[in-house]
Amino acid sequence: MAPSINPAEDATTQFWRHHEVTTPAQAPAAAASGSITLRFVELCKFRRLGKVQLDLDRQTTILVGANNSGKTAILTALRHFLAESSPFGAFDISLSEWPALRALGVKWEALTEDPATAAQKEGDNWEDQLATLLAAMPTLDLWFDAEAGMFHYVQPFLSKLVWKGGAVGVRLRLEPASDVASLKELAWAYNLARQPVKGMSSESLAWPIDLLDYWLREPRKLGQVRPYSLDAANNPIQGIETYQTQVLAADAQPADRKHLSKLVRVDFVAAQRGLGSEEADSKSTSSSHPVGLFSNQLLKFARQHLNVAATGHGQRADLIQAVANAQKDLDQKIHDALASSVAEVKLLGYPGLHDPQEIRFRTRIHTADLLDHSTAVQYSMKGGTGEDMLPEFSIGLGYQNLQSLSYQLVSFKTARMNPEKGSPPPVHLVMIEEPEAHLHVQVQRIFPDKAHKLISPTDTNASALQSQLLISTHSSHLAHAEDFDRLRYVRRIPPSAAHPTPSTEVVDLGEVFGDDDETRQFAERYFRVQHTDLLFANAALFVEGVAERMLVPLFMELKYEKLNSRYVSFLDIGGSHAHRLRPLVEKLRIPTVVITDLDPTEKKAGPKGKMRWLATANTGQAGLRCGNATLREWHPKLQNVDDFKAPTPAQLIWTGAPDCKVRFAWQLPVAEASNQWPTTFEDSLILTNIDWFKGLNKLAEEAEAAMAGGQHKDKDKDKDKEKKVNPPTGALAEAAEVVAGAATHVDLLKALHALMHDSFSKGDFAAGIFERVAAGEDVTCPKYIADALTWLQDELDPAESVTP
C-alpha cells in the first residue's frame, strides 16, 4: 500500500514529525570514548581561491556572501577532495598557476625520446620539475579536534608518537605525479599527444594546445588525491594567531586513502535538483506520470536500504519473507486463472511424451519496484480511506521538494550508519547548496536546525558520531535563522598590483563584534526582524527613515541606471544606531553610503526649566550642535553644526579600514532656497522642489474652487481635453500649503520645522510623492543624496571616475 501523509496538520509540523523515520537496522557504532569534529579547513590554489581558511561550527556552518564570491567553489572543492567519486578537472587548478604549468608543457614537448628509458641528461632536473608540478596543485588541509579515546581513527595521521588528544591535521593534495617515474610517464604521454599538432599555431585550436588543454580531455591524467599528516604543533584550533600554512617536506610520505574514508564521510546536495540529467531519473518506468521528487527519493532509498539492490537481494529479512509469500500466492492465482486456456493447448497434442509435462508460471517481485510508479506516495485528504487519497503529483511542488530533501538527508544518515565494511565514520559532513531553491520561506527559517537533526544518529550508542552541516545560501530568511556564530561571510577580493588575480577570504561573523555582546545582539535581532539582505549585496545604503526608504530607491531607479542594475541592500536604520553596525561594515568591505540627518540641537530650557539640548530648526543661529550619534562617533566626528556646512572629501568619505570606503551624506544648504540649511530629508526635498510644491497647491486651490462652483457635476465636460493631475491630499497637501504660504525662504524653513515636529505623517507624504514620480512627474532628488548615489555608482563601476 502506498504510504500516505495527512496534509490537515500544519505543513511544517507535519514534515518534521513525519521524518523521524525508522530506518533499516544500523550497524553498531565502534565502541569509543570521546568524539571527533572537523573544526577548520584551509583550501589553496583551487580555481580562483588562492587561499581560503574556514572555521567550522561543531554543528552547522552557513556560508553567505554576494553572488560569485566563492561559496559554491568552497563546497565543490570539499566534495572533490573528500568524495572519491567527484573527479577534478583542469579548470579546478588556480589561474595563477597556469603559466608555470604551461612552461612545464613546453619542456615536455621538446623531449625526443621516452625519459623513462633514455639516459639522464644534464639540465633535465626531474626532481625540480616534480616540485614545480606539485606546488601548482590544489590542496586542502583538514584540522580535526579529537579526544584521546578516538586514537584508532586518527593514528595514521598523527605527527608525534605520544598523543593525548587535540588537533590532528591532514593535507590532501591533487597529484598528477607522485614521484619522478610517474612524472616522466606523464611528460611522455603529453609529448606524444602534442607531436601531431606542435607545428600548428594556437589559433588552430588543435588539441592539445597546452598542458591545461591536455588535461581537459584527459582528466584522469590529473592523477589522484593523496593524504599527508601535518604537524599538530602548528595548528589553527589552539593557536590561530600564530598558525602558519605548513609546507610539506619533499620526502613526505602519504597515508593510505582508506584511513581517511574511515575517519570522515561527505555527502552533497546540489542546487537545482531535478533538472538536467537528473530529470530522466524522475520518470516512472511503469507510468506516464512523472514520479514526484519525494517518490524519487523514496525509490532510491528503497533500492539502497531495503532491497538493497535491483537484483532483489537485500538485508531486510522481514521484507524478503513478505515478498516471497506474496510472490507464491500470486503465482498460484495466475496459474488458476490461466488453467483453462492451458488445458485447451493440450488438445493440440502438446505436451508430448518427451516434452515437459506441466506449464507453471513464476513471478518475480523486487521490493523497490513496488514503489516505482506515480502513485507510490499518496496524501490523505480526510481520514485516510482510499477514496480520499491523492497522488503526489497533485500536491504542491514546494511540499514535494521539502519531502525530497528531507528523505535525501535521512538516506545520507542511513548510508553512513550502514557501511559495507567496518564501523560508521565518526565524522559526517553534509553539504547543501542553496536549499532555498527548494523550500518555502517559513521552512527556510527553521531548516538548519531541523536538517541537522535529520542527519544526526539517534542511537544512544552513537554518541561518538558527529554530524556537521555546511550550507551555502542567498536567503536572508535561512541565514538569519542562526546567530552570527554560525555565519561565515565569503568575500571576493578584487585583483591588485600585489595580487593580479581575484581571491577570496572568509570572515567569521561571530567574531566581528568582539566582546561587545550588546551590539552583537542588537545586530542579530535587527537582521532577523528586518530580513536584511546586506550579507548578499554588492553595496549597502543606510537610510534614516520611511520617506528615504521609499523614495531613494525610486530616484536610483529613474536616474542611476548602472547603479540600479547592481545588488544594493537598503537598511532603514537611523543615525542613533547606524554606527553600531560599523564593525560589520568594516568586515564586509562593500561600498557603503550612510544617508542620515544632521539633527541640529540647541541648548534650551526643558519642561522643568533644566537646560537641555533640544531639536531645533537651523536658521543660521550660532552654537548649534549635531545630535546625530553616527556623525559624532563614526565619521566625520564633528560636534558643531557649522563644521558640517562645507564638508571636504575626507570628511565625507571614511577609509578607516583596509579596502573599505563609506560615503556619508547629510543635509546641506539648498541653492534653490537661497542656501537655507534644512534639517531633514523632507525639508531638503521640499526646498529643492519649491516650484513643484507651489504647483501642487495651485491644483488644490483650483479643485477646491471647482467643488464650490459645482463644476464637479460636469463629468463629461472636458473629456477630450488633456487629463489634469489630481490635486494633492493628506500630508502632501499640507506641505504644499506651507510652501505657498511662506513669504521668504527663511520663513519657509521655520514653517517646515514646525510642520515636521507636529502630527505630520512622513509616510503619507512619501507615498504621495512616490505615486506622482512613478506616474512621470519630475521631482528633483536633493543634491546631498544625488552626490552620494553618484559616488556609489562610480565605486561599483571602476571604469568611471570617482566623485567625492
- Please name the residue ranges forming H helices in 439-589: 441-444, 447-455, 476-479, 517-530, 546-559, 561-564, 582-588
Q: What is the pLDDT of residue 605?
A: 82
Residue 662 confidence (pLDDT) above 90: yes
Question: Is residue 381 a part of any domain in this protein?
Answer: no
**Inter-residue contact 615 to 601 (CB < 8 Å):** yes
733 and 745 assigned to the same domain = yes
- Is 7 part of a structural domain of the chain? no
Residue 56 lies in a domain: yes
Q: Is residue 81 part of a domain?
A: yes
Q: Could you tell me if 703 and 737 lie in one domain?
A: yes
283 versus 491: which is more confidently predicted?
A: 491
| 659 and 580 inside one domain | yes
Domain boundary among 506, 523, 540: 506
- Please tell me which residue, 239 or 532, carries the higher pLDDT value: 532
Q: Stretch 396-423: mean pLDDT, rounded?
A: 84
CATH number of the CATH domain containing 447: 3.40.50
Reply yes or no on whether the pLDDT at 747 is more than 60.
yes
User: What is the structure's pLDDT at 724?
Assistant: 58
The phi and psi torsions of 487 (rounded to 5 degrees) equal -100, 135
Q: Residue 739 sits in which domain range?
A: 681-707+726-795
**Co-location of 527 and 660 in the same domain:** yes
Shared-domain flag, residues 438 and 519: no
Assess whether 663 and 766 both reside in one domain: no
Q: pLDDT of 45-94, one tens digit each? A: 999 888 999 999 999 999 999 998 999 999 999 999 999 888 899 999 99
Burial class (CB in 10 A: 0-12, 13-18, 19+), 345: exposed
pLDDT at 277: 38
- 117 contact partners, CB below 8 Å, separation of at least 6: none
Q: Which of 6-15, 78-87, 386-395, 641-650 has the lowest mean pLDDT?
A: 6-15
Q: How far from chain centre, in Å, is Cα 186?
A: 39
- Work out the angle between the directed axes of helices 98-109 and 126-135 (0-180°, nearest 10): 150
Number of domains in the chain: 3
Q: What is the pLDDT of residue 111?
A: 93
662 and 737 housed in the same domain: no
Local confidence band at 714 (pLDDT 50, 70, 90 cut-offs): low
Residue 639 and residue 618 share a domain:
yes
The angle, 0 to 180 degrees and rounded to 10, between the axes of the packed helices 681-688 and 762-774 is 40
Reading the block at residue 439, the C-alpha cell is 523550500
CA 441 vs. chain centroid, Å, equals 15
Helix (H, G, I), strand (E, B) or coil at 22: coil
Q: Let me know whether 427 and 544 are in one domain.
A: no
What's 458-480 look like in SS3? CCHHHCCCEEEEEEECCCHHHHC
SS3 802: coil
Percentage above 90 pLDDT, the chain: 58
Q: Is 600 contained in some domain?
A: yes
Omega of the bond leading into 227 within 30 degrees of 0 (cis): no
Nearest partner of 738 among 670, 667, 690, 669, judged by Cα: 690
Measured distance between the N- and C-terminal CA atoms of the chain, rounded to whole angstroms: 71
Pairing of strands 625-626, 600-605: antiparallel
- In the chain, the amino acid numbered 374 is S
pLDDT band at residue 528 under the 50/70/90 scheme:
confident
pLDDT in the model for residue 313: 45
Residue 362 confidence class, pLDDT cut points 50, 70, 90: low
Query: What residue has cell string 564570491?
Result: 69
Classify residue 319: in a domain, yes or no: no
Judgement on whether residues 445 and 417 belong to the same structural domain of the protein: yes
Q: What is the DSSP string of 266-291?
A: EEEE-SSTTSTTHHHHTB-SS-SSBP
Contact 295, 374 (CB under 8 A): yes
Which of 482, 506, 530 lies at the terminal end of a domain, its last residue?
A: 506
Cβ–Cβ under 8 Å, residues 482 and 61: no
Q: Say if residue 155's pLDDT is above 80.
A: yes
Q: Which of 638, 667, 696 is the last residue of a domain?
A: 667
Whether residue 519 is contained in a domain is answered as yes
User: Is residue 262 domain-shared with residue 161, that is, in the same domain?
Assistant: yes
CA distance 726 to 700: 8
Q: Are residues 419 and 467 in the same domain?
A: yes
CA-angle at 252, arms to 248 and 255, nearest 5°:
110
Residue 203 domain-assigned (yes or no): no
Q: What is the mean pLDDT of the chain?
A: 84
